[in-house]
Amino acid sequence: MIYLDHAATTPLRPEVLEGMLPYLRQGYGNPSAMYAAGREAKRAVTAAREIIAQSLSLHPDEIYFTSGGTESDNWALVGAFELAKAEGRGTRIVASAVEHHAVLETLRYLEEVRGASVCLLPVDGDGVVHPRVLSEALREDCCLVSIMTANNEVGSLQPIAALADIAHRRNVLFHTDAVQAYGHMPMGDIAASVDLLSGSGHKLGGPKGTGFLVIRRGVPMRAFFHGGAQEKRRRAGTENVAGIVGLGIAAAVAQRDLEAETEREARLRDQLYHQLQEAIPHVMLNGSRDQRLANNLNLCFPGVSAETLLILLDQRGIAAGAGAACASGALEPSHVLRAMGRSVEEARSSVRLTVGPDNTEEEMKDAAEQIAEVVRHLRKGVTDRISAEKEAT
């Protein structure tokens, strides 16, 4: 299989599996216990926390482990809103129209059930929020701004530092969903500019069911899970030690290889794009041409059903995606592409191709040939049908 859906999830790195195995077998102690096995588990959790903190140039006590990006987003939004509402600091939340559903559906809940006022900002044709648009949307009753670092569908990068600065000038907290970005680009400057930041393990070769939320020192935040004293009494529940160890190792490997790997993935992405451009007429790039994740290529093939294209590619051993993995199977066109100004037909003709550490130049060549062949076949079918309809009339 040629795997081109790394934005959805990534294969577990061999180093990660090897590092997790001891904590799945003999190192199963409870980190809250005082005996030797518990102390060893706690040391492992502490070491992973330090790795995540170092990768973001933050202090370890600003890192809180979660079950993944969705929980981290929920905690950031619900926790910040509930505290602000209780303290009378406003109930308005501002986010972009292209956020992941983990953010959008949480906002829907807060609006419909908890009484929040939600404002979704428009984006330009690349899927980017202009700082002026955010500035105009902020009001005195705003308690939180949430804008993702990198879009999970089209890979476009947001000007997080500039946006966060605008929010902070109005004394508004700023959260960024960095699930798609963390481990794939330098994050120190971004982490330093925000109050809350969400990350996930399975996007960078770590295990599913692991993630973290950054809560900067001094930022008010309510506990999300209640019970024990884990995570400084903010997130109760016995820690997933093996998963946290795997997340830490994946983060360390991603940091170690970051520069070389992003350059390599960008070359593979560009190779695939140029080969498809040469082989297929009227291919359109979705998202920013320059300010995008190195591994992301989102393309529109006008006249082709993305769903059919993906099924036929799967039959040929090529795995790709149509956008957000969580929305797979949905009949609605991508909310991201629609917000960017793409038509319904263009959105339904778009696929996401994302490369990773195991992909090769030979795979890009093979994938480009296979995709081009399938697209030509599907377009021929459309052309033949239109011609037959014209003849019939």
Q: Which positions are annotated as active-site residues?
A: 326
The Cα 234–Cα 294 span in angstroms is 35
Q: Which two tokens stand for residue 243?
A: 């998963």
The number of CA neighbours under 13 Å toward the Cβ of 150 is: 25
Instruction: Tell me the backbone φ, ψ of residue 352, rounded to 5 degrees.
Output: -110, 125
> What residues are paired with 150 via a beta bridge?
157
> E-assigned strands of 2-135?
2-3, 63-66, 92-96, 117-121
Q: Which DSSP state fits 113? A: T
Instruction: Say which residues have a Cβ less than 8 Å from residue 175's Cβ, sequence separation at least 6.
Output: 73, 76, 77, 80, 144, 145, 146, 147, 194, 195, 196, 197, 198
Question: Within 10 Å of residue 238's Cβ, how many Cβ atoms?
Answer: 13
C-alpha distances out from residue 377 to 25, 161, 369, Å: 51, 45, 12
Least Cα distance to 180 among 336, 49, 50, 379 occurs for 336
> E-assigned strands of 236-370?
284-286, 296-300, 318-319, 350-354
Task: Map tokens 């990068």 to a residue.
Answer: 157
SS3 state of residue 5: strand
Q: Are 6 and 294 in contact (CB under 8 A)?
A: no
> What residues are paired with 175 via a beta bridge?
146, 196
